[in-house]
């Protein structure tokens, strides 16, 4: 197929960042639905095979008529600031040099605000003073999540980080100039002469990029009361 169409297959996660917003949205929705159907072929109550409708928007158990709909797991993604700097972190699975906002799944029974405060405290040991909702985005990896983006602020004098190394590889405060420079970087994958990779940020399609860009354009945007 690659030879006939004069193209090549690439990893879906990488492909999303090479498409326009409309095509990327269609691709992520299709991938999420295909994965959901593959993982939900049997009724959890009867154990019998379920059947999908023609549109692929649900599955029904023929024996008890229970209807199953695709679901997304809520995830909070938070850009923390002290007013002059923002905090970015990386996991060991990230591409070399890439830092992003803090993120974590919401627990059962939690509100959005509670999840943000818990995740920030768990991952970097900081206490959130204020937070502000920014936007949301469907993200198909690893199993279809609804990314809920927020800005959060901590008190200027309470910025000592305690990195949870079970969840993060590193976390650090970055200045406005450092982040603005990283946003302008065109080719972050280029290895430098000393063997290291430059500090870079998630691609434009990712909601983390939007959060960071908002902070650069208006560093005080996260300073509103929760």
pTM as predicted: 0.84
pLDDT at 111: 96
Q: How many CB atoms are located within 10 Å of the residue 129 CB? A: 16
pLDDT digits (tens, 9 = 90+) for 181-208: 999 876 655 655 565 677 889 988 899 9
The β-bridge partners of 135 are 149
The β-bridge partners of 60 are 51, 67
Q: What are phi and psi of 25, to 5 degrees?
A: -65, -45
pLDDT at 155: 83
pLDDT digits (tens, 9 = 90+) for 120-131: 999 999 999 999
Q: Is the pLDDT of residue 1 over 60?
A: yes
% residues pLDDT > 70 (the chain):
91
Q: Is the pLDDT of residue 35 over 80?
A: yes
Q: Is the pLDDT of residue 224 over 50?
A: no
pLDDT at 194: 60
| Contacts of residue 158, Cβ cutoff 8 Å, sequence gap at least 6 | 126, 127
For the chain, the average pLDDT equals: 88
Confidence of residue 109 (pLDDT cuts 50, 70, 90): very high
Q: Is the pLDDT of residue 180 over 60?
A: yes
Is residue 105 a contact partner of residue 139, using CB atoms and an 8 Å limit? no
The β-bridge partners of 68 are 59
């Amino acid at each position: 197929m690659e030879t006939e169409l004069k193209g090549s297959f690439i990893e879906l996660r990488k492909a999303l960042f090479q498409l326009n917003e409309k095509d990327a949205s269609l691709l992520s929705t299709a991938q999420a639905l295909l994965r959901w159907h593959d993982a939900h072929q049997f009724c959890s109550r009867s154990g019998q095979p379920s059947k999908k409708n023609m549109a692929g928007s649900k599955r029904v158990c023929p024996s008890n008529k229970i209807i199953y709909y695709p679901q997304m797991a809520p995830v909070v993604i938070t850009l923390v600031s002290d007013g002059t700097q923002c905090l970015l972190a990386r996991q060991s699975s990230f591409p070399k040099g890439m830092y992003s906002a803090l993120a974590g799944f919401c627990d059962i029974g939690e509100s959005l605000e509670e999840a943000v405060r818990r995740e920030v405290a768990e991952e970097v040991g900081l206490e959130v003073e204020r937070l502000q909702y920014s936007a949301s985005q469907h993200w198909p990896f690893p199993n279809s999540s609804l990314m809920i983006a927020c800005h959060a602020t901590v008190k200027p004098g309470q910025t000592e980080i305690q990195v949870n190394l079970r969840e993060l590889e590193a976390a650090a405060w970055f200045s406005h100039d450092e982040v603005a420079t990283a946003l302008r970087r065109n080719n972050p994958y280029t290895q430098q002469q000393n063997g290291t990779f430059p500090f870079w940020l998630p691609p434009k399609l990712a909601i983390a990029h939007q959060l960071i860009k908002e902070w650069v354009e208006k560093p005080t945007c996260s300073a509103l009361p929760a």
